[in-house]
Chain A
Amino acid sequence: MAYLAAKGADKQAAVAGLGNVAFILVLCVAAAAIFGATRWIGNSYAFFAAYVVVQYIVLGTAWNILGGYTGYVNFGITAFFAIGAYSSVVLYKLTPWLPLPVMIAVGGAAAALVGLGTGYLTLRLRGVFFSIATLALAVVVQTLITNWDFVGGARGAYVLRPKLAPLIGGEYIQYLYLVMLGLCVVVLATARAIERSALGYGFAAIRDDEAAAEAAGVPTLRLKLIATTLSGAFMGMAGAPLPYYVAYLDPASGFSLNYAVNAIAMPLIGGTANWVGPIVGAVVVGGLQQYVSVTISSAVNVLITGLLLVLFVILAPQGIVGVAQKWLRRRR
């Protein structure tokens, strides 16, 4: 038993020892394998379901850069996510021929700007004011978009999904899935690179004790703005393909509180200390949600996510990954 635990720790150390480029390659191989496996399963539903899980890995990791790494809670995930989604709607109406990756970049940039702006106004104050401002931001962005007729207002917008996937053939959903996997690789590689860099140490210092960090020479405001902008950008990018995924986007569903709760619950349940946690959280919670949705009801599954969030925050704040690490350490 101890031998197996030691092996596990060795493997962990092996992955931990990888340089950034090597890690990206490993992720690409893993992504290609996952894509291939999904394609092999064959039916469309697999792609639609898998897209959601990968989307949540992106959202959760993005949230975690500001939340878990830096200690600032962003409740306005729906705002950034929807900014990405609706910038795609705007581009779809103006320049429908733009390739999806470009739309993603634009969505990310728009969300990044909003993140930067909100942060600039509120990050000089206590963390709780930032969090409250993000909550209010979500409502305001929803109000603005609901009143904006160009993107359909409250009635929503229809987006025609192309029939065929460019590059790889097959249904368009496969292309969306591939793009989302690519985005996932980028976000995970970024998160891990941050963790092991001076920036990551700066974030951790801010999270642990901001005044002491400032006294040690850490430019706390600047780093917090970086984290907020980066986090917002990735959330916007995660939202950009959404109109194509759902084909009909209206504010009620685009701003669904579910996105916010999942994006927070998954990293908190999975573990906020590093890049592995959000993946574990997305897979475990996402899988659980699918199961409950099918066996009981989809409203109840959302309630269960909320309950799990509260329970984990109280009882196991280090998340699944943290609990597993503690268990492994004890058995060594």
Chain B
Amino acid sequence: MDVSLGLLTNAVISGLLLGGFYAAVSIGVAISFGMLDIVNIAHPAFILLGSYVAFIGNSVFGIDPILAAVIALPAFYLLGMAAYQVYYVAFERRDDQSLRGLSFFFGILFIVEVGLILIFGVDYTSVQAWYGGGNLSLGFIELPWRLLVPFLLGMAMVAGLQVFLSRTFIGRAIQAVAQDQQALRLMAANPTRIKRIAFGLSFATAALAGAAMIIIQPVEPSIGREYIGRIFAICVLGGLGSFPGMVIAAVTLGIVESLTSTFFGPSWAPAVAFGVLLLTLAVRPSGILGR
């Protein structure tokens, strides 16, 4: 009785912390898909890229993986802007079928994954950081550092972006472009430039999410694909265009996965996200807090 309750509590707490990490992983897509309506299925591949950048920073230069990701932020931001420019010229401007855009990102996903395999191989890689092991003890609750730090990072990212979007001019312009491009044009702001900045931000989040990922678990290039289902399940469940909804969805998924993992085995975790996604699409496609 007692063992089972302890197990349950642990599973829920792990799930909660995992949810914070999932929020970090999903916020990039909450921006690109939720606000810009660009289905960037390659996002997980760039998160992996972020993980490997953090790894290089850590193993070659001995710096903290999160710090490495922060240093790499501008590069990711510029990469995102470049990617949007290509996408815009090739697809958005031509108002092409979504078939091409999706295939484009699929191709990018594949190229990045194979590129990472060629450079780093298929073995698992991990980082060394002071919070890699051990727990933070709060009374009778044990919070593993390797889960807690990504959770805190995720929450910081969401909070930071929320503040940016609601308090700065560019942030508000991004919200505007998400809702009504025409009105934005009338205000003499260039929607394309705004979208480019937003997409750049989306990529920048991938760098930090990557650092979080390699802290939580050892990575290898193909695990990105597992996250596609999770990320889109979270974004759809949370409601496109709503950060708070996304966070709730991320935490919910984290808890459900954690419980499944504890009581049915960890290999079923990827199936949970898919189940959640299908259920949401079938029952309430606008999500919990969606418009």
CA distance A303 to B274 in the complex (A): 28
> In the complex the two chains form, is B100's CB within 8 Å of A317's CB?
yes
> In the complex the two chains form, is A128's CB within 8 Å of B222's CB?
no
CA distance A143 to B230 in the complex (A): 14
Name which of A5-13, A101-109, A306-314 contacts chain B. A306-314
> In the complex the two chains form, is B226's CB within 8 Å of A139's CB?
yes
B222-234, CB under 8 A of A: which get 1 and which 0?
1001101100110
Residues of B within 8 A of A261 (CB): 106-107, 110
CA distance A210 to B134 in the complex (A): 55
**A127-B98, A132-B228 known; A143-B271 Cβ under 8 A:** yes
**A299-B118, A310-B104, A317-B100 known; A144-B271 Cβ under 8 A:** yes
> In the complex the two chains form, is B111's CB within 8 Å of A73's CB?
no
Residues of B within 8 A of A187 (CB): none
Q: Which B residue's beta carbon lies closest to that of A130?
A: B281
Q: Does A249 contact B (CB under 8 A)?
A: no
A interface, how many residues as a size bin? 35 or more
Instruction: Tell me the total A-B contact number using a CB cutoff of 8 A.
Output: 118
Q: Does A161 contact B (CB under 8 A)?
A: no
Query: How far in angstroms is the closest Cβ of chain A from B220?
Result: 12
Q: Does B102 contact A (CB under 8 A)?
A: yes
> In the complex the two chains form, is B226's CB within 8 Å of A303's CB?
no
Residues of B within 8 A of A302 (CB): 114
> In the complex the two chains form, is A310's CB within 8 Å of B108's CB?
yes
B interface, how many residues as a size bin? 35 or more
CA distance A274 to B253 in the complex (A): 42
CA distance A147 to B117 in the complex (A): 25
> In the complex the two chains form, is B111's CB within 8 Å of A310's CB?
yes
Tell me the chain B residues, 111-150 only, with Cβ under 8 Å from chain A.
111, 113-115, 117-118
**A121-B278, A125-B285, A139-B225 known; A307-B236 Cβ under 8 A:** no
B82-110, CB under 8 A of A: which get 1 and which 0?
00001000100000111110111011101
Q: Does A116 contact B (CB under 8 A)?
A: no
Q: Does B282 contact A (CB under 8 A)?
A: yes
Q: Does A146 contact B (CB under 8 A)?
A: yes
A59-75, CB under 8 A of B: which get 1 and which 0?
00000000100011101
Q: Does A268 contact B (CB under 8 A)?
A: yes
> In the complex the two chains form, is B274's CB within 8 Å of A139's CB?
yes
The 6 A-B pairs of least Cβ separation, nearest first, read A136-B229, A310-B107, A309-B107, A306-B111, A306-B110, A136-B274
Q: A125-B281, A313-B104 are in contact. List 10 more A-B contacts (CB 8 A).
A: A131-B41, A133-B278, A136-B229, A257-B225, A261-B110, A299-B114, A309-B107, A310-B111, A313-B103, A317-B96
